[in-house]
Amino acid sequence: MVLLVETPAPLAAAGDTVLPPFTPAAIFTQIHLTSLIALFLLIAAALYGYGVYQLRLRGDHWPAGRTVAFIAGGLGSIAAVAVSGIEAYDTTLLSVHMVQHMVLSMVGPIFLALGAPVTLALRTLHGAPRKTLLAVVHSRFVKVLTFPLVAFGIFVANPFVLYFTGLYRQTLEHAWLHEFIHVHFIVTGCLFFWPLLGLDPLPNRWPYPGRALLMVLSVPFHTVLGLTIMQSKTLLGGDYYPNLHLSWSDPWNDQVTAGGILWAGGEIVSVTMLGILVLQWIKQSEREARRIDRALDRAEAEEAAAAVIANKITEQPAVVRPRSDGE
């Protein structure tokens, strides 16, 4: 990971020699694999692939769409902003950091949830490991963190705390804190989106109307945060960005772009997520309708069978008992 932080004065003197102007080509030429996120991605991909392989060995089915969502959509999107040139420029341009923020906290977690990794683990594990995982999933701690209102509060409050306190400047100047914030984005995003999507057997799954409402309520927070950053009279990070003395970037214009990315990106992802919830709601309604139809069909079949038996009984001729001489 490239950090332009520890010695701002020499860095300012170096000018543009540290990194060239950011271009799309830089995304593919500034790749760095030595980071905590890269290690996490490799381990997660290996464990998920192992789980799918074990199910196939047993002859069990696992939807290919879930594998694609987890590996390509979830881990792939995180890798695209955490080990590529985007990561190399995330402490140089606030706008690049904001793209990274949106992907790590929203796009990646949504696709990870669609991959249903907890369900895969429960189907793969046996004995004590499976019991341990179930105990963790249903623990009081997890129940509190994944309660929709708690997760919602953490999700919407974190950016305000990060950008409007001295914490953001600290993340620019300390590599370990910078890495921690990346992981924090992913974790808070998973806490918010996984119970909403409801594919894994997590506690506190609300009915679909409640989930959709919570998603709608998240939209204004991104709008307010984005507009506040765009209209701010102070630079995020203080004099950090001006001290870079990059002739190819104006910190003020870049901050306006960053706020616009946060505003527009948040709304796009939220509306997309809302669409996913609506589709899930429709599919659940269709499954429920089919279940009710099957139950009605069984009830009608049972009534028809009972009617046939009753008709056979009533159609049997009466047995005439011969009279005895004494009658």
> pLDDT class for 159, splitting at 50, 70, 90?
very high
Please report the DSSP string for 104-139 in residue order. IIIIHHHHHHHT-HHHHHHHH--HHHHHHHHHHHTS
Residue 9: pLDDT over 80: no
pLDDT digits (tens, 9 = 90+) for 65-92: 999 999 999 999 999 998 888 888 999 9
* Per-residue pLDDT at 325: 58
Over range 272-288, report the average pLDDT: 84
How large is the average pLDDT for residues 211-222?
Answer: 88
Q: Cβ(77)–Cβ(108) under 8 Å?
A: yes
Tokens of 146: 């994944």
Structure tokens at 22: 């950011």
Q: Measured in Å, how far apart are the chain's first and last C-alpha atoms?
A: 113
How many Å apart are CA 63 and CA 66, to the nearest integer?
A: 6
85-106 in b/e form (b: 16+ CB < 10 A) is: bbbbbbbbbbbbbbbbbbbbbb
Q: Which residue carries 């159609």 as its tokens?
A: 315
| pLDDT given at position 308 | 79
pLDDT digits (tens, 9 = 90+) for 15-39: 334 578 888 877 777 777 777 788 8
Question: What is the Cα–Cα distance from 97 to 235, expressed in whole angstroms?
Answer: 14
267 CB-contact burial (10 Å; exposed 0-12 / middle 13-18 / buried 19+): middle
